[in-house]
């Protein structure tokens, strides 16, 4: 696993009421959800980025209001008609 070091203003941590560890965990979740939403990562890879199981990642998607499906209704219907 790669380790990254980033600098975050201390007042940002205070404003979010997060410890550095909590902030890092939340940042991984948010990044994974966004990359999944942008279709840059699959559920499996996004779950690994987030540091959770795939089932837990589905719960995280729900928490952030992101659909677990990467295909819209139109795309599903189009695929079914092929």
Dihedral sign for Cα 15, 21, 27, 30, please: negative
Can you give the pLDDT at residue 77? Answer: 79
Tell me whether residue 2 is in a domain.
Answer: no
Q: Is the pLDDT of residue 76 over 80?
A: no
Tell me whether residue 68 is in a domain.
Answer: yes
- Expressed as residue numbers, the domain containing 58 is 16-81
How many independent structural domains does the chain possess? 1
Can you give the pLDDT at residue 15? Answer: 87
Can you give the pLDDT at residue 39? Answer: 93
Q: Return the higher-pLDDT residue of 12 and 65.
A: 65
The pLDDT tens digits for 1-48 are 888 888 888 888 888 888 889 999 999 999 999 999 999 999 999 999
Tell me whether residue 3 is in a domain.
Answer: no
């Amino acid at each position: 696993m790669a380790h990254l070091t980033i600098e975050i203003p201390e007042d940002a941590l205070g404003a979010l009421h997060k410890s550095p560890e909590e902030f890092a965990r939340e940042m991984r979740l948010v990044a994974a959800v966004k990359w999944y939403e942008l279709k840059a990562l699959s559920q499996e890879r996004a779950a690994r980025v987030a540091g959770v199981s795939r089932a837990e990642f589905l719960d995280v998607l729900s928490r952030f209001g992101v659909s677990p499906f990467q295909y819209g209704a139109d795309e599903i219907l189009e695929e079914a008609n092929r």
